[in-house]
Amino acid sequence: MTGARFIIFTIITLLVQIFIAEFINLHQMVYIVITPLPVLFLPYNYSKSLTMVFAFIIGLLTDLSYDGVMGLNAAALVAVAFFKEPVLKLIVSKATRENLSEISSATAGKGAFALVSLALCSVFFLFYIALDNVLYFSFAYTLARFIINVLLNTFIIMLAEFTLFRGFLEKR
């Protein structure tokens, strides 16, 4: 994905996230988030520090548009950026990573992309829930919230990548 296309993709993702936050409220336990998508689709050869700065900016812009606690999305997205490379090293083969410009189902395979999405959603919600309210609710409630959010958001990321963003992400 070229620089201009990636910037447009990031802006669209932020606008959709703001729309979701304002108008779609399923339950206090459920938080729909698509802002990990730009961090996930950042080219693999970017440095970890640059990826973390980019994730922080996206997270901060998301937090500025919310009524919630400032910094939750920024912290969780920085954690996603930090763990992106180790997760890719665990899931995607070395031969595939050497030819990988960006992570998507087309470049890494559907199974690998699904596992990477699941792992990075887990990282996001581990940090998000831990910083948000882990001490206010019971362990069972917090665990249920974590599992529901990870599974739902992994499904949404997979659906978005397979349908909505497929044509936009493909090289032209």
Q: What's the pTM value of the predicted model, to 2 decimals?
A: 0.86
Question: How far, in Å, CA of 38 to CA of 103, rounded?
Answer: 10
How many domains does one find in the chain? 1
pLDDT of residue 166: 62
Question: How far, in Å, CA of 56 to CA of 127, rounded?
Answer: 14
pLDDT for 75-117, tens place per residue?
999 999 999 989 988 988 887 777 777 777 777 778 888 999 9
The domain spanning residue 154 has which CATH number?
1.10.1760
Residue 19 is which amino acid?
F
What residue numbers bound the domain in which 85 lies? 3-169
Question: How far, in Å, CA of 17 to CA of 139, rounded?
Answer: 28
Question: How far, in Å, CA of 134 to CA of 115, rounded?
Answer: 25
